[in-house]
A = this chain, B = another copy of it.
Amino acid sequence: MEAKDVRLQGLLQTHGKTIILPYDQGLEHGPRDFFNAPFAEDPMHIIEIAKKAKYNAVVLHVGNAQRYFDRMYGQVPLVLKMNGKTEIPTDAEPLSPVTASIDDALRLSAIAVGYTLYIGSSRQDEDFEQFAAIREEAHRAGLPVIVWSYPRGSDIEGKGGKNSLYAVEYATRTAVELGADMVKVNVPNLKQDPRIPEPYKSYTTDLQEAVKRVVRAACGVPVIFAGGEMMSDEDLLQKARICINAGGSGFIYGRNIWQRPVEKAMEITTQLKQIIREGKAKK
């Protein structure tokens, strides 16, 4: 087994699935994500949740990864995010620039690296080249690459939006074709839209089946699902259940976890793990 695959297995330690705590929103959305949960502005809050609730990894940008290295090393596995941007410039032609190097990842003992790929952006060509360089260097260094595979930009808007089943399946497949070791996507939105290309435009299905299609588009590469903005416990758990039943490999929920106090975050995590266990039992 290649070194990168050994490390990837190390991420799949929650009954064979993974739960990852992403904390790159300080850059992606800015401090507004901490406004109503000021405790979450402190990275130690996230590290504490990860430790206590035994998350398989925390995702950080290089600044925090470096500053909190001594409080994570040997206790909380790190996924180093390799690129990122603020939400201030318009999102019409996005490209997520590189903010860290594989040398950073090695120095900080990362278990994997994360990369945001904006599928369908008019700058997709630059993105693919940037990704190819990182993918190759990461694999050479024994690090698996998790791709945040996001349809984005005005062209996908013109084809029905970034969350259509068409868009999410295509994004999943693209990450896999380019060499991702794990793919993070959003749960598709089944709202119909005349701009979605055929045969997807005329296709109707339920969410469980849709998520299955997304998982299948990955040719066996583990697919994990994002959580998005804070929602009710009920909605979150229902969403999680669908993902697991559809064959998803786990969750990468951020705001829905760390916008809660530590105890509350632990509680909901326990419920998420229970869903994974139940999913496993079903098989």
Whether A197 and B63, one on each chain, are in contact in the complex, defined by CB atoms closer than 8 angstroms, is: no
Nearest Cβ on chain B to A163's Cβ, whole angstroms: 14
Q: Which of A152-160, A249-257, A273-281 contacts B (4 or more CB under 8 A)?
A: A152-160
Interface size of A as a range = 35 or more
11 interchain pairs, CB-CB under 8 A? A30-B166, A30-B169, A31-B213, A35-B199, A41-B219, A63-B175, A63-B219, A64-B219, A97-B126, A100-B132, A100-B136
Partner of A136, one of B36, B104, B135, B217: B104
A150 at the interface (CB under 8 A from B): no
Q: A98-B132, A199-B35 are in contact. Are A90 and B170 (CB under 8 A)?
A: no
CB within 8 Å of B: which residues of A?
24, 26-27, 30-32, 35-36, 38, 41-43, 61-64, 66-67, 84-86, 88-90, 95-101, 103-104, 119-122, 124-129, 132, 135-136, 151, 153, 155-156, 159, 166, 169-170, 173-180, 197-200, 203, 213, 216-217, 219-221
Measured between beta carbons, the chain B residues less than 8 angstroms from A122 are: 89-90
